Amino acid sequence: MTHVNDEGRARMVDVTEKERTSRSATAAGFVSMAPSTVELVRTGGCKKGDVLAVAQVAGVMAAKRTWELVPMCHPIALTGVDLSFDVREDGVAITGTCRCVGETGVEMEALTAVSVAALTVYDMLKAHQRDMVVQNVRLLEKSGGRSGHFVRTGSADARED
C-alpha cells in the first residue's frame, strides 16, 4: 500500500523519483434545484450577486488549495484551472479541468474545484431554496503519468452515470 509506512501509519507518497509529465484531469458535478431557483441564476436575480462568477472564482481558489484540505495530497504548481457551467431547467452542471507539469496527478484538484464550485452555488442560492442537491461529483478524464489515460465510460449526463 503506497500511503502506509513500515509502521502501518499514513504517509504522503514520495514522488521524488517520478518523471515530470504534463498532466490533466477533468471532473464534473451537478446542483439540482427548482425551476424558480434556476431562473435566479439565469437572470442574475440572486441577492448575493452573480452566482456563476462567484462559483468560478471559488472553484479556482479551491483547486489551488487542495493540498491543504486533503491530507495526503501534494502541493502542486497548477498551470491551469478552468470551470464551465451549463444552466439547465433542473439545475446547474459544472465541469472543471486542472493542468500541471509535475510528478503527481491533478485529479483531486479537479474534483475539489467542482465540489467547491457546487457548494458555492448552493450557498449563493440557499436563501431561496434549501433543498437543492449537490450530486454526482466524479472524475471524467485524466491524462499523464505512469497510469496513463483514463476516460469514464457511461452517460455524459451530469445527473447520472
- The residues annotated as belonging to the active site are 123
Is 108 annotated as belonging to a binding site? yes
| C-alpha–C-alpha distance, residues 22 and 154, integer Å | 26
Residue-wise over 55-65: b if at least 16 C-beta within 10 A, else e? bbebbbebbbe
Give kind and range of the element (H or E) at residue 24. strand 21-32
CB 139 within 8 A of CB 115: no
Is 73 annotated as belonging to a binding site? yes
Is 98 annotated as belonging to a binding site? no
Is 132 annotated as belonging to a binding site? no
Is 3 annotated as belonging to a binding site? no
Closest listed residue to residue 63, CA positions, set 112, 121, 118: 112
- C-alpha cell of 151? 476516460
Binding positions: 72-74, 108-109
Binding positions for substrate: 72-74, 108-109
